[in-house]
Amino acid sequence: MNRTKKLGNTDTNIPALGLGTFLMPGDDVLRMVPHALEIGYRHIDTAQIYGNEAEVGAAIDASGVARPDIFLTTKVWVDRYRSEDLLRSVEESLRKLRTDYVDLLLLHWPNPAVPLAETVAALNQVQSAGMARHIGVSNFTTALMAEAVSLSEQPLVTNQVEYHPYLDQRKIIDAGRQANMTLTAYFSLAKGSVIGDPVLRQIGQRHGKDEAQVALRWLIQQPDVVALTKTVREARALSNFNIFDFELSPAEMTAIHQLARRDGRLVSPEGLAPEWDD
């Protein structure tokens, strides 16, 4: 399988598997990002609220991998959605990341306190200024996706959302496909819950893979889906990357889809989460 996918309806390829840095302390970022890049990862995901953009920038510099060879994503936090605040915050992120641009800039969560039209217009302004190659959203429902797309002069290329075998995201995927948006999956291993799952274990045994590798393969084998995985263990980073040398059968894909349950959502912070799609 190709290690990259088309990003939305653009000419850009996005690596199908990325390293996420959510809740990753700075020292671990400085250790893990160069290691991941040495393994072969070329997609790094961070955010303003993670508090580690400076370490991500330093780690990329220290890695020896050329900046144009890395697909770098960051996200604007919800308290900076007013137009001038958003522009200043992106400038701050770029300084911390030691780069003139990010490949992808996302709105981290919906914020009904600020008109979405104002925030999306600012997002477009950042892209027009060359500070972001592409723009998108995160944790948006299908209705919010449609509204954001309708307000944006430039294509919104992804919605980054929680997605793993225990959470059915077909509505988001279908809505994204209609809007030419890729889905970026976070919490792809369900906070480690996939480990020990008997269905994933049995499938993995057929392929000589573990449950985490099967779950990640299931994600990236779906059209228009890319996945993020986060670990502070070098061996796990390597293991998670070794998912491009096998393929799940249609029956195996279906069996994993059937693991979804109504209480499968893990991330729904009070005060941030929208009213999710059923």
DSSP string, 174-196: HHHHHTT-EEEEESTTGGGTTTT
**Catalytic residue flag (residue 186):** no
Residue 225, H or E segment: strand 225-229
Question: How far is the C-alpha of 252 from the C-alpha of 205, rounded, in Å?
Answer: 12
Displacement of CA 137 from its chain's centroid (Å): 10
**Catalytic entry in 41, 50, 101, 186:** 50
Q: What is the largest CA-CA distance in the chain?
A: 54
One-letter amino acid of 149: V
Question: How far is the C-alpha of 278 from the C-alpha of 276, rounded, in Å?
Answer: 6
Question: How far is the C-alpha of 58 from the C-alpha of 184, rounded, in Å?
Answer: 25
Locate 65 and state its tokens. Answer: 């991998």
| Residues that are catalytic | 50
